[in-house]
Structure 1
Amino acid sequence: MTQPPHDELTASTPEELREQVEHTRAELGQSVEALAAKTDVKARAQEKAAEVKEQAAAKAGELKAKAVQTAAQVQQKLPAPVKEKAVQAAGQVREKAAQAGHVWEEKAPQPVRNKTAQGAQLARDNRSLLLTAAGAAVVVWLACRRKR
């Protein structure tokens, strides 16, 4: 009646018993580590954030490539006068932006200027995407004007 349960190992020598105890300790340590990893909310949240960031970067790259391709297709279909007007409009936009920038530098508080400088740097880093979007907007605007 004093038989050990079926899931327990039996040892015939003290050495075998020590080995079983060490084996059980190692398994217990692994189980505790696995449970600790599951309960570490901060680490799991950081892993998920990194995963989402990678997915967003991949999607942004896909969208950028598609926008560049679409803009190139649209530009090929435009007649020469429309292309010339788009170039002129872009030049005027640059001039107005420069004027607004000078006024901004004179009147804006320093923290706001810093954030604006960061945004401008981001726009310069993604210039092709920005120009493609602006070109597409000009094309749509000109197409709408022609229909009237």
Structure 2
Amino acid sequence: MDQSKTPVPDAPAAHHESGQTPPPPRATSTRDELGRTVEALAAKADIKAQDKEKTAAVKDQTAEKAALVSSQIREKAGQAARTVEDKTPDPLLERAGQGAAAARANRTPLLLVAATALTVLLLVRRNRGRRR
């Protein structure tokens, strides 16, 4: 008998439905493990997805920090306003309040005066520019 040929078992239990013998259990587990490894490597190589995740994380952190800083600024501004109010003499506060009320009551005349002053200033600058 030729030794280069391996004998094929004749037992019907050794054949699979497709006519091939089923892989041994160790080969199946190795194939599954290899599949999981390939999936893990593919996930690591997906740079676009990683960049999107990092961008979202940085965006969230930035929004949180901005909210924190904003609230701190509001708090400090309130403290500064209270300090200025506490240290400013009462007569000065009353005068400032009266001036603000008068300005609110007479907006139209104040705007006309400001517009006139601006026009005169621009005309004077224009005339000086032509003389040079």
Q: TM-score, normalised by structure 2?
A: 0.51
- Identical counterparts, % of pairs: 21
Number of corresponding residues: 86
Please say if 1:66 is aligned against 2:87: no
Deviation at residue 92 of structure 1 after TM alignment: 4.4
CA 52–23 in structure 1, closer or farther in 2 if over 3 Å, else same: same
Question: Relative CO higher for 1 or 2, CA cutoff 8 Å, sep ≥ 6?
Answer: 1
CA 85–17 in structure 1, closer or farther in 2 if over 3 Å, else same: farther
Please say if 1:39 is aligned against 2:52: no
Deviation at residue 48 of structure 1 after TM alignment: 2.2
Structure with the greater alpha carbon radius of gyration: 2
Deviation at residue 17 of structure 1 after TM alignment: 1.7
Output one character per residue of 1:76-118: Cα deviation in whole Å (capped at 9) or x when no partner. Answer: 1111111112323443454539x98xxxxxxxxxxxxxxxxxx
Structure 1: 5+ residue runs without aligned partners? 1-12, 101-148
Deviation at residue 43 of structure 1 after TM alignment: 4.8
Structure 2: 5+ residue runs without aligned partners? 1-22, 112-132
- The separation in 2 between residues aligned to 1:31 and 1:71, in whole angstroms, is 58
Deviation at residue 74 of structure 1 after TM alignment: 1.4
- The separation in 1 between residues aligned to 2:60 and 2:53, in whole angstroms, is 11
Give the one of 36, 42, 66 matched to 1:56. Answer: 66
Q: TM-score, normalised by structure 1?
A: 0.46
CA 21–91 in structure 1, closer or farther in 2 if over 3 Å, else same: farther
Measured on the aligned residues, the alpha-carbon RMSD in Å equals 2.9
Q: Which has the higher helix share?
A: 1
